[in-house]
Structure 1
Amino acid sequence: MDYRPQGARLVAATVVMNMIWWMVMIAAIGLGATHMHRCTVQPNIPIYLVVLGASSLLSLVFTYCTSGFQDGALHVLSLACMTFLHIFSFAWLIAGSSWVYAVYPPNYSDKGLYCHKTTYQFAFVVTTLLWVAMALVFICGCCISLLTCCTTVFAGRHLLPDRKSFYGATSFQEPAAGDV
């Protein structure tokens, strides 16, 4: 683990983003639970919101536990649970995307035939933002990996000795006849 002190801006941004994510996921649980039987065209959308919110909040709790326990069985257990929840959340996002995007564009004029307007719009926006965030993380990760590889290859050319020198030498000198 890296124990370097973090800057105040980074800590503040992390706290603010965590608070916003908690509020959004609590709203997802609330909207999904409140309008559970008010989505006749796709009854899985409120269930999608409830499960997405619950799994995300549980994943955040395990993230906090993982950073709190640095060693031991609790650390390994929380890492395993967190990994499982991330895989499950990704699969659930794919399933939720198929439910949310399949009934797009919405028709709010017929109340009995469609979802509650706020519930559907919330599900649509959250799902879209999650895909955008994942795409940005993927693109940034690829760029950082490419830069790291290029830097390593470039630095490697300067670190490799040629046939006439060795590490630590200041100049090349032929060994004397008695030194061999």
Structure 2
Amino acid sequence: MNPAPEVEYRPNSAVQISTLVVVNIIWWMVMIAAIGLGAMHLNNCPLQPKIPIYLIVLGASSLLSLSLTYTRNTCEDVFCSVLIQVCMTVLHLFSFGWFIAGTIWVYPIYPPNYTPGAAPFCHKTTYQFSFVVTTLVWVTATLMFACGCCFALLTCCRTVIAGRRLLPSRVSFYGATSLFQEPAAAGDV
């Protein structure tokens, strides 16, 4: 079997690497807190008992996804890398569905009763944490979608504006260094 060809990578800037590390550390801390809050207050939300479970599963699936990402980036075996990628795809699909379910559980009961022992209530910190995390993920996803649409629109506009330079005409060809003229017909000389 032939070895895989070497791929040249452009080094990332220090700012990109630092930002990525900080965002990863913050996300790890938030997901560990989600698991902890969900586990500590598993029975403290009778109004919607699935919210603590939502936090536990959301945190665990996010941490597993991050761990698989790190493992895939260090894995040198092609089969191992493909297997990890398949597992990550399944995990991302599950996480997306779980996030939608969590949204359905968190938003309809806003604002819940926070008084224990009263009518159905929900532990204040647990509910507010789940509400804030869910809202931040929706805001981030919306911003990423909007930026992606703007980028696609700008790319389309640049392509249309540069259209004449991108498409060859009948009298030119790619790679030409000067104007190319078709040969004259035999009777035109």
The number of equivalent residue pairs is 177
Relative contact order, higher structure (CA 8 A, sep 6+)? 1
Residue aligning to 2:150: 143
Q: Which of 48, 61, 72 lines up with 1:66 in the alignment? A: 72
When structure 1 is superposed on structure 2, of 32-41 and 145-154 the one drifting more is 145-154
C-alpha change, 1:3 and 1:165, in structure 2 (3 Å) is: closer
Residue aligning to 2:183: 175
1:140, distance to aligned residue in structure 2 (A): 1.0
Q: Distance in 1 between matches of 2:157 and 2:76?
A: 33
Matched residue type, 2:95: S
Q: Which of 40, 46, 51 lines up with 1:34 in the alignment? A: 40
When structure 1 is superposed on structure 2, of 7-16 and 82-91 the one drifting more is 82-91
1:68, distance to aligned residue in structure 2 (A): 1.7
1:110, distance to aligned residue in structure 2 (A): 4.6
Q: Which of 145, 159, 165 lines up with 1:158 in the alignment? A: 165
Q: SS of 1:171's equivalent?
A: coil
Q: Is the 8 A contact 2:116 2:123 kept in 1?
A: no
Q: Which 5+ residue runs of structure 1 have no aligned equivalent?
A: none
1:36, distance to aligned residue in structure 2 (A): 0.4
Q: Which 5+ residue runs of structure 2 have no aligned equivalent?
A: 1-6
1:22 aligns with 2:40: no
When structure 1 is superposed on structure 2, of 40-49 and 82-91 the one drifting more is 82-91
CA RMSD of aligned residues (A): 1.9
Q: Distance in 1 between matches of 2:143 and 2:95?
A: 18
Residue aligning to 1:85: 91
TM-score, normalization: structure 2?
0.85
When structure 1 is superposed on structure 2, of 10-19 and 161-170 the one drifting more is 161-170
